[in-house]
Each structure stands twice: as C-alpha cells, then as structure tokens.
C-alpha cells in the first residue's frame, strides 16, 4: 500500500472525520471513498474549505505540530465595523482565556467569489471580509479572536494550507496532490 494524498473542499456542516460518533452530522465518508486516509488537522463543522487527507502519519504529525507553524489561510466573513485598531489587535495576537495567540497576518478584503453556502447567513449589522493567515490552530481560534476584538464571525473558509490552494475544487470535491504539491508539502 502506497502513500495517498488528497485535497478536499469540506462543505459547511460536515465533520472533519469519517465517523459521526452518534451526532447525526454528515462526515467525510459521504464524500470520500478512499480507505485508510485521515484528515491532517480539522475544520469545525460550521467552517468550510481545504482539508488535506492522507495515510502518511509522519506528515500528519509534522503538519499539526504547533512548533512547525505551517501557515493556514482563511477567508472570514464578520459582522461589525472593521477598523484599523481591530486589525492591529488581531495581528499582534489576542489574549484568550489566559493564552495569547501568535501574531498573524490579517487584512480587510472585498467580498470573495465563493460558492454559496447551503445554509444562508442573515447578518444583523455591517458585514465585511478578512483574509487571515494563522501559524497555529487552536480550537475555534478565529471565532474566539474575532469575538475578542469586537467582531462576530459569520463564515470561515480555509483556502490554503501552506502553498496548497483550494482553487479548482467545489464543496464536496477532492483530488490527488500533484508531484510538485507533494514535494512542497513534504518540505514543511
């Protein structure tokens, strides 16, 4: 059995695992019929976007190791007024329950071209978009960071893991990595 490497566009509402453990939520099994692969990291059920799936346990360990700082890029829809003060606080690192996040790259962007979400969002105030590049991945980190600076997260779409990008995939689709992508990925 050789190593397998896939990029998957996880839709909204899908668990980042192959079993639902009695939750009743859809899992990766609904979309991917490849035995013995696992997600290298997670996305919350209500987040969307790029997942790497592989049977290469060593690579998974390297990619999720917080000391490696593999950058992950997200497009984040927020409710609230985006200001330079909020962006600066976000970028410097946000204090969350006794932990301060690592500094990250963040910038305001215009509304990106994304597939419509299955469950539409109904905002109650001004809405904007951020591009956020994190070098760590704590549970629900972006949601906690936006809340800490006074913004409400409405939608999160991971668009990149390192240099691997989601372009060319639609929600629910997956594809094998190219040799070049695999070479870049293994350099992390």
**Is 172 exposed, middle or buried, given 0-12, 13-18 or 19+ CB atoms closer than 10 A?**
middle
Report which DSSP code applies to 41.
Answer: S
**Is 74 exposed, middle or buried, given 0-12, 13-18 or 19+ CB atoms closer than 10 A?**
buried
Nearest to residue 76, comparing CAs of 53, 103, 46? Answer: 46
User: Residue ranges of the domains in the chain?
Assistant: 5-66+164-186, 72-161
Domain 5-66+164-186 grouped into CATH 3.40.50.150: no
Domains 5-66+164-186 and 72-161 share a fold: yes
**Taking the model in full, what pTM does it have?**
0.93
Question: Dihedral through CA 8, CA 13, CA 17, CA 22, nearest 10?
Answer: -160
Q: Identify the active-site residue in 20, 44, 46, 85.
A: 44
3-state secondary structure of 155: strand
Output the tens digit of pLDDT for each of the chain's 188 residues.
688 999 999 999 999 999 888 888 999 999 999 989 999 888 999 999 999 999 988 888 888 776 777 899 999 999 999 999 999 998 999 988 888 988 899 999 999 999 988 787 888 889 999 999 998 878 889 999 999 999 999 999 999 998 899 999 999 999 999 999 988 888 87
- Helix pair angle (141-148, 84-92), 10° resolution: 130
Architecture of domain 72-161: 2-Layer Sandwich (3.30)
Q: Let me know if 44 is a catalytic residue.
A: yes
């Amino acid at each position: 059995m050789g190593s397998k490497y896939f990029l998957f566009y996880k839709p909204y509402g899908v668990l980042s695992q192959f079993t639902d453990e009695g939750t009743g939520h859809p899992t990766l099994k609904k979309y991917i019929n490849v035995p013995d692969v696992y997600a290298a990291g997670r996305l919350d059920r209500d987040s969307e976007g790029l997942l790497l799936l592989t049977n290469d346990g060593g690579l998974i360990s390297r990619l999720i190791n917080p000391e490696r700082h593999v950058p992950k890029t997200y497009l984040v829809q927020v409710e609230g007024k985006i200001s330079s003060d909020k962006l600066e606080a976000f970028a410097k690192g946000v204090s969350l329950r006794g932990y301060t996040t690592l500094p990250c790259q963040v910038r305001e962007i215009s509304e990106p071209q994304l597939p419509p979400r299955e469950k539409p969002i109904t905002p109650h105030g001004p809405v904007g978009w951020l591009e956020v590049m994190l070098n760590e991945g704590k549970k629900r980190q972006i949601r906690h960071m936006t809340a800490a600076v006074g913004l409400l997260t409405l939608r999160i779409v991971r668009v990149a893991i390192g240099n691997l990008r989601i372009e060319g995939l639609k929600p629910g689709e997956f594809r094998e990595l190219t040799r070049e992508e695999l070479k870049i990925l293994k350099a992390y």
